[in-house]
Structure 1
């Protein structure tokens, strides 16, 4: 797939009536208020005839979420042929069908609970797979990084509209391409992985941005997707940093305004941006983001 357009291919729609509800309450003074809250609903994912997991999600892009989840759990292989994806909105079920016969009864018994919200899980053998991954030595110009974070932070989203949501963005150089949101950051990652698989989009020259913490789960999924650069406005966990260094993943956190911290894969970074032309993050955006960051 050739990407030439400078605008998003997929972006959030904070005004989609399926994704939020208006709820009445009171504020700290006792005054009545009406506010917007994010909707979450269950989605049960099947691989062929086998039930795999029930995830809590906002409900958009169930096909991408299901395929991405199965890919990131190692249940779908990159060369698998998907013969169909069937979604039943009433039953809240999505079935991914493949040419290859599958049976993951034993694997489903072996899980590692992760720090991701909404009860994310990573199967134990995924961490072993990192030993065999080699990420490409592509550059990251700081001018791209600042252009990306500015555009992402000013894009209308549920993250800024209602909170209780995570956002993930797939980018190429200074262009954000696909922006997905969900109640769990792992769901937002999986939606992008599923979109990349369906659209046959290469990963070697991409940048992954997340609003959430840079945990072991985020690092594992980014490396498995083959993306060499992971950026967040939030902070790090020690294990996330350790895994990123082992995989030579460029790991950048606390990316706010003109500030950022890189703790792994630093050799990819080209410092070409004159910081005198970069504004600090506005106080208004800092307040909003502080309420929503994980």
Structure 2
């Protein structure tokens, strides 16, 4: 049996034992026998920008400030030069209010919505392609040895997925080190938490890799590119539009990554093949996600 990963090297790691994030539900199995399982909690969080209500997201409830900052940044509602003067979370009211020095109003943008694919359906306001024409991603090398090591370490990390399932994970990495591991009921929320942490900590994106357990959809590609991260990897598969956009912006896109295998459909010029795939250990079945069958 594969050992669990030591999470002391993470800046932020999942806390599957947090009682706020799961609860035990009783039921019966296929034979009629009593069954008790852990299920992920899901609760609303309403995000305000200054005095304007922007969206209500369904989330597991951890890191609400990062989720709010990342959502607003990824929707283009927080600019690069915006001064954030406050981020206030009220747990009882289930709200986060982000305040900026700049006066904001997004009435017109809120009227135009594009529904995006994926579990816990995401919503993108305005033109999904807005800002992509200005994206210039750095030509940061990406060693295949890093990808294999990251996949193994992330799959062995104790997580809510392994505890209860029904959840997606997104991990910000540098070279072969996973830094920040966020989970949520939607991959959109998980990547927004990463974006919020990066904004809050003023973390540079150019040397980073984003790893996700979910599908490589257009929204995931757009958010990664707009965050300035040059590489996006996943255990799961691709959508056609996601691949097209990745090629347009020069994002390295790697999917179906499991065990010794992966497929690169964009940005291969960044890859440095510095390890023989045959030397990579076979993935332990305990850590295979549903995405491995995509």
2-side partners of 1:6 and 1:161: how far apart?
19
Unaligned runs of 5+ in 1: none
| Map of 2:222 onto structure 1 | 220
| Map of 2:96 onto structure 1 | 94
Matched position secondary structure for 1:116: coil
1-side partners of 2:223 and 2:204: how far apart?
15
Matched position secondary structure for 1:131: helix
Q: Does 1:59 align with 2:61?
A: yes
Alpha carbons 1:45, 1:95 under 8 Å: kept: yes
**1:110 CA drift (Å):** 0.8
2-side partners of 1:165 and 1:6: how far apart?
23
Query: How many residue pairs were aligned?
Result: 288
1-side partners of 2:233 and 2:37: how far apart?
31
**1:293 CA drift (Å):** 8.2
Unaligned runs of 5+ in 2: 1-6
2-side partners of 1:195 and 1:283: how far apart?
32
Q: Does 1:40 align with 2:42?
A: yes
* Correspondences of 1:63-212 after superposition (within 5 Å): 63-212=65-214
1-side partners of 2:93 and 2:286: how far apart?
41
Matched position secondary structure for 2:148: helix
Q: TM-score, normalised by structure 1?
A: 0.95
Residue 292 to residue 40, structure 1, CA distance change in 2 (3 Å): farther
Alpha carbons 1:252, 1:263 under 8 Å: kept: yes
**1:292 CA drift (Å):** 9.4
**1:280 CA drift (Å):** 1.8
4+ residue stretches of structure 1 with deviation over 6 A? 291-294
2-side partners of 1:95 and 1:63: how far apart?
9
Q: Does 1:49 align with 2:51?
A: yes
**1:276 CA drift (Å):** 2.8
Q: TM-score, normalised by structure 2?
A: 0.95
2-side partners of 1:148 and 1:170: how far apart?
10
Matched position secondary structure for 2:190: helix
